[in-house]
Structures are given as structure tokens and as C-alpha cells.
Amino acid sequence: MPMGKHGKYHPPMPSADAAPRVQRDRCARPWRVQATAERLLAFGTWMWAPGSGCMEWSDGLYVLLGYRPGTVAADYQIFVTAFHPEDRPRLLVQLEACLDSGAPVSFSGRLSHAGQAQRVRVAAEASRPPGKHLRCLQGAVQRAGLPEDVIAAATDAVFAFDGDTRLSLWNPAAGRILRRPASQVLGRRVAEVFPSLARNRAGRCCQRVLAGQSCYARGVRVVDRAAGLNGYFDMDFAPLHGPSGEVTGGIGMVREVTEQRRAQARLRLRVRQSCSLLEHGPDIVMRFDRRLRCVYANRTLFPSGHAAGENTPNALHADPTRSLWYRNMRRVLATGEPASVELFVPGPAGTRVFDTRMVAEPGPYGRVRSVLAVARDITEQKQAEEALRQANRRLEAAMDELRARQRQDVEEEKLTALGTLAAGIAHELNNPMMGVMNYVDYARRNLGAPDTVRDVLTRAARELERIRDLLKNMLAFARPIDEPSGELSLHNVIGAALDLMMQEFQARQIEVKLDLPYGLPAVRAKEGHLQQVFVNLLMNARDALANAPRKEVSIRAVQEGTLIRVDVTDSGTGIPAAIRDRIFDPFFTTKRPGKGTGLGLSISRAIMLELGGDLVYQDRPGRGTTLSVSIPAIPSNAGESP
């Protein structure tokens, strides 16, 4: 190797016009590699020409001798005196013999530096430069013990054998992996040491190594039942050469790969299962290259014996959907973002719907290499969704019809209640009308007495107000069901219902007791609805007191949290236990034919449920009947005046 002054490496420098900078760098690369190898393996090279007294050291030898590279001149005397005095004579003898007869130098000794000694190996051979008669020596110095330390610390089994395949080296890892200590195997042949099922393979590899060839075997099954050894191993063999190049033996390495083989087997099993699921799954799976050619498709898309071709089969994307298909796929190739599209594919059995997802598959350098498309036939799902929508439309139509029927039933119930109350209302209107007529006639006959006329006309005005209030209550009761909701006072609503029923109660001598506390909050409802509920409850109480010895109806209101509960109680005989669960059923009534429709309580409860409240029956055995109305109150800081 060319070396300059102080052992520095200098690659040959071609002329500037014949070799560019790239060529110089290419030539310098081997020397940089050699310098790195010297540093890692702790060795250095030297060259000595005795006739001219010239000697060159490499950087690695400077380090071994204890100097920084280039700090001292490379000199034969410094080189020889660096060795231990006890080892120096043997080194000089071998160097002289190499110069005289050309015998190679193979010397083991100690280097002394700063009071410390380190073992080294020295190897050299004589050479004659071309065109010269002067013999020179070229050699290397390597720190001893390093290869042995590396081999001893290796995690793989390392062993060496001679030309008769007898083992001369057996590191601790070999004893641990192959379950045989070095004391039992050194000196024995390789074929005798290796367990069964690997013995023949190891013997054949040794024969090839002794012939000068490297040999390896992967995944060799090794079984030794006595030692409890059962696994798979990788084996590598290489020849060892002597000073003259002849094969003197070989070296081998064994690595256990049992867990790797088992992991690979599990991985292959999972891959086979995944591939089977992919091939026979319900979804269509395809892969497209950058030219949008189908390079893979599972069996769900292609029939048996059909291979993926240039394009997707027309059964999946027909002409109406082809542009949509390719437009989304090109966008995935360009941006790498996933895409989703629904394809409606016409066919002989009708239009099929495919939910298609497209994802990009990146290549080794980040560029999108292909597109993976997964299409799922969702035709049945779409049909089920459409059937559900149609069922919802039919249900909404039925609900509209039911609501219309309910409104009709409410109106019919109002007419029935008005018919029932017609006689009492007529009597209630007749009394104030007769009073007004009498007051007007009296005033006409006494026009000369202004004070008397004024008093009489005032009484007539009060009677007219009674008529107005009664008509107002009747109009509120008969108001159409589509009236808007508003804030109502329960005092006013219950009072209006009592006005409509008062003539009936007075004619039947029914006493009414009111317990409506001051400060009840307002409620939100339709006035006609809420008044109809209380009229129905009062009419039921009136009918329940037909044969009662004590005729009394009490109305009591109380606030319970966000609800207001109004109890309407009669002093009748109560509802029989056999029919209590049916009193809210439509068209159920205990009255004689023509006396009731059986819709009063069912309609009243439906109205209260619509308002967010309820209408319930409270059992009071032997003490009459109580029907409780609950309705949400409007939150307010100020109470309502009665």
C-alpha cells in the first residue's frame, strides 16, 4: 500500500487533465476504509527496507505504539525498542530469518508503553519491489486477545475444527445452545458432537469447508432427547487458511431460530386465513396500478378460473358510472386522500348499489403506487331503508288521520255536552232576560223619576253582563280545536266551567266547594281544551250524584313542584273495582243508551297528555270518586291573583 511520510496514506494522484475530482475520491475510498478497519480491529501495518533504512507506519500502528499519528518519525529502532526486553530477541531473530530465507514472521509478544504491557501478534513477509534487488519486509501488528474476547462474548455458537474435523474451539454460547460444555467436545469430531437430525448436515458442511468452500444450512432440525434439545438452527461454515494459503481447518457458527420459525409459521397461518377471508368474503376487493388497470381482484368479483385483466368487469361499473369511478380513482392517485362513492349499476335483475371505498397504497418513496378499492353490495340495505321510509310515511299518514279523527271526536263531544247543557243554559239565559225586560218596562213607566230610572237601569246592566259572561263561556267552550295556545288562569277556566254547569247543579241541589289558593301560577294551554276537560269532569260528578244521599262536589288545587294538580271529587258511591281499569277506554260508558258517548274521559286524558300533564283516577273506597288533573305551570316570580 502506498504510504507517505510519517505513515500517512496518500492515494495515487492522477494528472489534473486526466482524472477529475470524482476519480480521485474513488481512489481515496479504499484507504479510508482501511483506516477505519485498523481503528475498529486494533491493528496497524508497517513496511521496512533495511538497505535504505526507510520505514513507514500506518495510523493504526502509531496508536498501538502509544503515539499520535505523525508526531514522531517512523524508525526501525523505535519500533524494535517498543517491545518488551524479554520478547525483543525473539522478534529480531524472526526478522533476520525473514530477510535471509523469506520465512514468514509469526510472533507473539508484549508492547511496553508508559509502564504498561499489552499482548500483540506480529505477522510479516518479505517482498522485492518491482525492478529492484533490495528485499523489504511488510507486516502488521494486532492487539492479541481481541478476537478471543469477541468470540467468548458472542451470543451465537462459534466453534473451530482442524483438518481432521476435530474441534479446537468451543465458545460458551455453543455450550449453552447445543447443551454440551467445552470439556466434553474439544478434541472430538464435529459429526460426533452434533445431535441427531443435524449430524449428517454438519458432516457434509465440514467436508465442503475442508475442500475450500463456504457452506451454510438454514432451518436445520436439531433433536437431542437426552439433553432436552429440540429446535431449528441456522449453520454457517467457512474455511481457515494457513500462511501459505492451504486449508488448515474451518470455523462454524450456529444460531437458534426456533422462535423465528414458529413466529413465521403463525404469520403464514394468519396470512392464509386473511387471504381466505379476503378471497371468499362478501366484499369485492380490487387493486389498480397508476394506469388504472386492475392487477388484482378477489373471487367475489371474478368467477373461478377468471384472472384480473386490464379493466374492471363491466358488471361493476357500467357506462353510466364509469366516469364517476375513474374520476374518484384519479383523485386518490393525485392527492393520496381516501374517497367514497356510491355506484348505481343497472343490470338484468334491477339496479344494484355498491358502496365503494378507495384508499391509496404508497410506494417505497412516498409516491402513491396503487389504489385499493373495496366495494360492498348494499342493495338490500338500500331497499330496507326505502321500505322503512315508506312505512314511516304510512305511519305519519295514519297518525294524521288519527289526529283528525281525534279532533272530530272532541268536536262531537263538545256538541254532546252542549246538547246536554242546552236546557240549563236556556234557563240560565231566560232569568236575566226576564229581569232586563221587567227593569226596562219599569223605567219606561217612571221616566219622571230620574233617580229611580238610574237604579233600575243599573240592575238591568248587571243582568246583561251575566248574559254576556254566560255567552262568552259558551263561545270559549265551543271554540274550534285549532285555536292557538296562550297563558291561562286556572281560576278563570274553572270558574267558566262552573258557570256552564251551575244551573245543572242548582237544579239538582248539588253543593260546590272551591279550594283554589291565592298565587297559583299560570298555565299554557288552549282555553277551549282546558275548559272542556273540567266541564267533562263536572258532568261526570253530576251524574255520579244522581242517587247519592249527600250531594257535594269539591274542587281543590295545589302546586307540586313544576306541576299544578286539580282534584275534582264527588260524594257519590264511587267506581266499582271491576271497571276502574276501563274508565279511560274510548266509548266505554256505564250510562244508559243515548245518555253518553263514552268519550269524555278518554278525550280529556288525551288533551292533558298533549299538554304535558295527565288525568288519573284516585281510589277512595266508600267516599266517592276523585279525578286528578295535573298540568305544567309556567315559571314565574309573581303569583297569580285569584
Is pLDDT of 46 > 80? yes
Is 431 in the same domain as 515?
yes
Give SS3 for 574.
Answer: coil
Domain membership flag for residue 397: no
Mean pLDDT highest for which of 218-232, 318-332, 556-570? 556-570
Least confident of 260-274, 285-299, 304-318, 514-528: 304-318
Mark whether 572 and 436 lie in a shared domain.
yes
Same structural domain for residues 140 and 153? no
| Position 642 pLDDT exceeds 60 | no
617 with 599, same domain? yes
Give how far Cα 192 sits from Cα of 88, 182, 196, 199, Å.
Answer: 44, 14, 10, 7
For residue 492, name the pLDDT band (cuts at 50, 70, 90): confident
- What pLDDT does 300 receive? 67
DSSP structure string for 108-147: EEEEEETTEEEEEEEEEEEE--TT----EEEEEEEETTHH
Please report the pLDDT score of residue 307 as a whole number.
44
Distances (CA, A) of 456 to 354, 431, 448, 450: 90, 16, 13, 10
Residues shown for the chain: 642
Out of 377, 393, 422, pick the residue that ends a domain: 377
* β 511-515/552-560 pair status: parallel
Q: What is the pLDDT of residue 228?
A: 79
Please state the φ and ψ torsions of residue 175, each to the nearest 5 degrees. Answer: -65, -35
Residue range 386-402: mean pLDDT, rounded: 86
Tell me the mean pLDDT in the region 127-152. 70
Compute the C-alpha angle 617/620/622, nearest 5°.
135
Distance CA 338, CA 318 (A): 22
Domain membership of residue 640 (yes or no) is no
Which one has a higher pLDDT value, 352 or 621? 352
Same domain, residue pair 373 and 483: no
SS3 573: coil
Task: Return d(Cα 413, Cα 604) in angstroms, integer.
Answer: 10
| Judgement on whether residues 349 and 425 belong to the same structural domain of the protein | no
Residues 542, 512: Cα–Cα separation, whole Å: 11
- Answer yes or no: is 437 within a domain: yes
Residue 83 lies in a domain: yes
Check residue 456 and give its pLDDT: 64
Residue 638 lies in a domain: no
Give the pLDDT score at 10: 36
- pLDDT above 50: residue 72: yes
Overall average pLDDT of the 116-141 stretch: 75
Highest mean pLDDT: which of 370-384, 425-439, 525-539?
370-384
Closest CA to 157 of 207, 212, 198: 198
Whether 225 maps to a domain, the answer reads: yes
Q: How many domains does the chain have?
A: 4
- Looking at the fold, whether 541 and 622 belong to one and the same domain comes out as yes
In which band, very low, low, confident or very high, does the pLDDT at 509 lie, cut at 50, 70 and 90? confident
Q: Residue 186: what pLDDT?
A: 87
Of 204-208, 358-362, 448-452, minimum mean pLDDT range: 448-452
**Are 327 and 419 in a shared domain?**
no
Residues 85 and 160 placed together within one structural domain of the fold: no
Q: Do both 96 and 234 map to the same domain?
A: no
Give the bridge partners for 124, in sequence order. 105, 139
Residue 313 banded pLDDT, cuts 50, 70, 90: very low
Share of the chain above pLDDT 70, in %: 68
The pLDDT confidence band at residue 308, using thresholds 50, 70 and 90, is very low
| Average pLDDT value over all residues in the chain | 75
Q: Please tell me whether residue 362 adopts helix, strand or coil conformation.
A: strand
Identify which of 109-123, 271-285, 455-469, 473-487 has the greatest average pLDDT.
Answer: 109-123
Least confident span in 47-56, 61-70, 312-321, 483-492: 312-321
Of the candidate ranges 4-8, 32-36, 222-226, 592-596, the one whose mean pLDDT is the lowest: 4-8
Instruction: Give the pLDDT band (50/70/90) at residue 627.
Output: confident
Residue 568 to residue 557: CA distance in whole angstroms: 9
Q: Is 422 a residue whose pLDDT tops 60?
A: no
- pLDDT value, residue 20: 47
Inter-residue contact 446 to 452 (CB < 8 Å): yes
| 573 pLDDT higher than 70 | yes
What is the pLDDT averaged over residues 264-292?
79
pLDDT higher than threshold 70 for residue 215: yes
Q: Is the pLDDT of residue 312 over 60?
A: no
Contacts of 127 (CB under 8 A, 6+ apart): 135, 136, 137, 138
Q: Which regions of 492-624 does DSSP assign to beta strands (E)?
A: 511-515, 523-525, 552-560, 563-570, 614-618
Q: What would the grid cell of residue 284 be?
A: 369485492
Helix 527-544, helix 490-507: angle, nearest 10: 30
Is residue 462's pLDDT more than 80? no
Per-residue pLDDT band at 12 (split at 50, 70, 90):
very low
- Domain end point (choices 343, 377, 411): 377
Instruction: Identify the band that residue 133 occupies on the pLDDT scale cut at 50, 70 and 90.
Output: low
**Residues 167 and 174: beta-carbon distance below 8 Å:** no
Q: How confident is the model at residue 6 (pLDDT cuts 50, 70, 90)?
A: very low
pLDDT grade for 94, boundaries at 50, 70 and 90: confident
Residue 176 has pLDDT above 80, yes or no: yes
Separation between Cα atoms, residue 598 and residue 593, nearest integer Å = 10
pLDDT on residue 468: 66
- For the domain that residue 199 is a member of, what is the CATH number? 3.30.450.20
C-alpha to C-alpha distances, 3 to 11, 132, 541, 554, 611, nearest whole angstrom: 8, 18, 128, 126, 107
Domain termination site, one of 92, 117, 144:
144
Say whether both 423 and 544 belong to one domain. yes
DSSP secondary structure string for all residues of 238-295: EEEE-TTS-EEEEEEEEEE-HHHHHHHHHHHHHHHHHHHHHHHSSSEEEEE-TT--EE
Q: Could you tell me if 592 and 634 are in contact, meaning their C-beta atoms sit under 8 angstroms apart?
A: no
Identify whether 116 is part of a domain: yes
The domain containing residue 474 runs over which residues? 403-632
Strand boundaries in 346-497, DSSP class E: 352-362, 368-377, 486-488
- Partnered with residue 105 across adjacent β-strands are 124
Classified as helix, coil or strand, 337 is coil
Range ranked top by mean pLDDT from 352-361, 364-373, 534-543 = 352-361
Yes or no: say if 79 and 109 are a contact pair by the CB < 8 Å rule. Answer: no
Give the C-alpha separation, 520 to 568, whole Å: 17
> Are 433 and 577 members of one domain?
yes
For the residues 391-403, what does the mean pLDDT come to? 84
Is residue 173 included in any domain, yes or no?
yes
